[in-house]
Amino acid sequence: MDRTGSGRVRRVDAQANRGRILDIAEEVFGRGGESASTEEVARLAGVGIATVFRHFPTKALLLQAVLVRRFDRLRERAEAMLGAEHPGTAFFDFFRDVVADAATKIAISEALLDAGGDSDGEATRAAAGLRRAVGALLQRAQEAGAVRADVALPEVYALLVALSHAAAGKHTAAGAKALTVVFDGLKPQGAV
């Protein structure tokens, strides 16, 4: 047997396992609750607990990897929308998307804090990258006149986080309507 080829197969397998563990972990920890454990992740991913620990030596590292992947994906989506023809639509659509999938992201963020935090770690850096991308989307939307000029990233991000927290609750209909209120508030206001 070709040793190099077999090594490559093992690396590909390991990579596939890693991705599968992250997918399952995102679902399990996103759901939250008592049964959200590394053991449950291993069971649903169909791998041994040792395999999970080989990739992610601690629960905090596993949660961190899940969060980093989510933040990176959102950032990439935001960056892809920077070239959109209608910057206002791009900004509001992206805001809505982030809030819509926030429920799980927030559960995972809080699980990470419980598991020993990520102060100044990978997830923090990934979150900062996402924040910068949102800032770029906001700036383009403001230049296009679709978002009022007198708001800046800190308050827009505060609203994004606040509505994401609200979305993690139960009242989806209220959340959608709350989003409408905030979007109207973000649009250029009348001659007042």
Q: Which of 12, 80, 113, 181 binds a copy of itself (CB under 8 A)?
A: 181
Token duo for residue 48: 């041994």
Binding flag, residue 113, a copy of itself (CB under 8 A): no
> Is residue 151 part of the contact set for a copy of itself (CB under 8 A)?
yes
Q: Is 114 in the site for a copy of itself (CB under 8 A)?
A: no
183 binds a copy of itself (CB under 8 A): yes
Contact region with a copy of itself (CB under 8 A), list: 30-38, 39-47, 51-59, 146-154: 146-154
Comparison of 45 and 98: residue with beta carbon closer to a copy of itself: 98
Is 128 a residue that touches a copy of itself (CB under 8 A)?
no
Q: Is 158 in the site for a copy of itself (CB under 8 A)?
A: yes
- Least Cβ distance, residue 116 to a copy of itself (angstroms): 15
Q: How many residues at the interface with a copy of itself, by CB under 8 A?
A: 28
CA gap 49, 145 in Å, rounded: 53
Smallest gap from Cβ 125 to a copy of itself, in A, equals: 19
Query: Residue-wise over 43-74: b if at least 16 C-beta within 10 A, else e?
Result: eebebeeebbeebbeebbbbbbbbbbbbbeeb
| Both tokens assigned to 103 | 């429920």
- E strand or H helix that includes residue 129: helix 122-143
Regarding 174 and contact with a copy of itself (CB under 8 A), the answer is yes
Q: Are 151 and 187 in contact (CB under 8 A)?
A: no
CA distance 18 to 125: 21
**Which among 176, 83, 78 has a CA at the least distance from the CA of 131?**
78
In this complex, which beta carbon is closest to a copy of itself, that of residue 62 or of residue 103?
A: 103
